[in-house]
Structure formats: structure tokens, C-alpha cells
Amino acid sequence: MKNIIKIFITTLFFLSACTSTKQVFNENITEPVLKTEPKLIYPLDAQQENRSGSTVVIFTITKDGDVSQTRIHNSSGYKDLDNAAENFCKNLTFIPAKEHGEAIPSCMRWEVKFDLKDLGRAIKSEIADINDLYVEAEKATGASKLLIEKEILKKHRDILSKVKDGIKLNDYIYGVVQNNIKSEWKDVSDSYPLTFLLFHDFISRFKDYDSLSTVKSLLEYSLNQDIDYLSLPGNFQEKDKANMAVLIQKIKSFVEINYPQIKLNDLVIKLNNNSIS
């Protein structure tokens, strides 16, 4: 897991001064705190052409904790990687910096690294580990099986918290879920990460797990995150819009058929409103 951290963690730090913001190195000022971050899109063309790089983005954090006024400070050398890095930063949210307890705008520098070789190697290692655990779980019983099941859930959650590249997340998802789930979803979601499938797969494998309600809660949370991801502006190109509509309808039907206990009011609104127009 240490390799995952090295690959996916981004480096960030305050700038001592920034246009339209106040000085940040002041004992009366508290730094902004990262609140949420989107999944990072590693452009498919860049992956196919084996292009890597590092982009440094400078941006303003508003008093509301949103990101504005982004600009490329150091380019990766590739426009599509720079665009992906800038779009990633635009969708970050923060608890804003504060001076004497009052929210203030601030400026931050953030480095986004695209490293295809290390990324792929780390994902393959995690896939192998999970599949080994599945084999062990099939042979185990009682308390031993329960420990393995908990380890599988932990690994899934670690991956989701640390891996931010959408396409590589799908490599992991389709590398560990059962073939019937893979064949059902991969054609309509080869590059859109559907993290809820990890928990759907777990539920279908381990129907006797002693805390299925917790897993269903994880599924519902991941489903919301996936829908939010699909709705983020700039994530997908014009050619993807038709596929997006099909995918959204498929997710809606999946929830209604398999998990009717999930509260669908907000989800249905999101699914309908997030259809790409």
C-alpha cells in the first residue's frame, strides 16, 4: 500500500503571496484544509501513447472553500495532461483559510503527477492480492473467513481513498469483480469508474457476511460518489455523451432492481438531472 501512496498523493503547499489574496505566513492565519477531491482523469490517449508528466497548478481558494482562478504554473509538456490536472484542481473543495476566525481567500500550489508505469504496476499488485484473498475466503470458514472478508473490504476502501485516476480505478474494479458483473458493465463503463460495483460484488459473494448492512451503506455512499463524478463538468468529451445517457439509465435500473431499500429520491433527481445534455 505504500507504493499506492507514493503514486497518487499530490503535493500541495501555500504560496507566501498571491494576487488578490492575503499573506499566509502569519500566526493569525490558519491554513485551508482539503475537504473533498475528485477522481483524477488520466487521459486515455496519453495512456495509450505511454505519456507521463507532472503539472503544477496554482489556484485561489475562495472564502467559501471553492477553487477559482486556476493557472498552469509548470507544464507537463502535454496539453491533455495539463488540462486534466487543471480540471482536477477546479473540482477540489476546502475548508477555507481563516484569519482571526474569519474565512479569507488564499492561494495554493498543487502538483499532479501522471506516472503510467508505476500506476499500472501498483494496480496489478493490488488486483493479485485481492484475488488471492478471494481464493482463501472460499476455503475458510467461521472466524477465519470473517477476517478475510474484513481484509477484502479494507483493501477496497484503501484503494478508493488513495487512487484518484478514474480509468485505473476501473482496471482495479474489473480486475477483481466476478465475470458476470464485469461482462454486464464493462461495455457501458470502460472509463467511468463505478466504485459501487466493488461492494455489489462483495454482497453477491458473501451473502452470509455478518455486517451486510454496513456493506450496503458503503455501496450507497459509493453510488452517490460515482454519480457526482459523472456530473462533474469537463470530465468527458462530446463523443462520450451518448454512452453517458445509457450508463445513467442502467445505474438507475440497477438500483431499483437490486437495492430498492436505498433511498432513491435524491438519487433519481441526480440521475435525471445529470444526464448529459
Domain with CATH 3.30.2420.10 in the chain: 8-114
| Structure-model confidence comparison of residues 16 and 37, the more confident one | 37
Distance between CA atoms of 215 and 203, rounded to whole angstroms? 7
> What is the torsional sign of CA 25, 31, 32, 33?
positive
SS3 14: strand
| Global model pTM greater than 0.85 | no
Q: What mean pLDDT comes out for the span 150-154?
A: 95
Whether the per-residue pLDDT at 5 is higher than 80: the answer is: no
User: Which strands form 11-14's sheet, in the order they lie side by side?
Assistant: 11-14, 106-114, 53-61, 67-74
| Structure-model confidence comparison of residues 190 and 258, the more confident one | 258
Tens-place pLDDT, residues 93-112: 999 999 888 999 999 999 99
Tens-place pLDDT, residues 53-87: 999 999 999 999 999 899 999 999 999 999 999 99
Whether the per-residue pLDDT at 16 is higher than 60: the answer is: no
Strand partners, 34: 94
Q: Which CATH superfamily is domain 8-114 in?
A: TonB (3.30.2420.10)
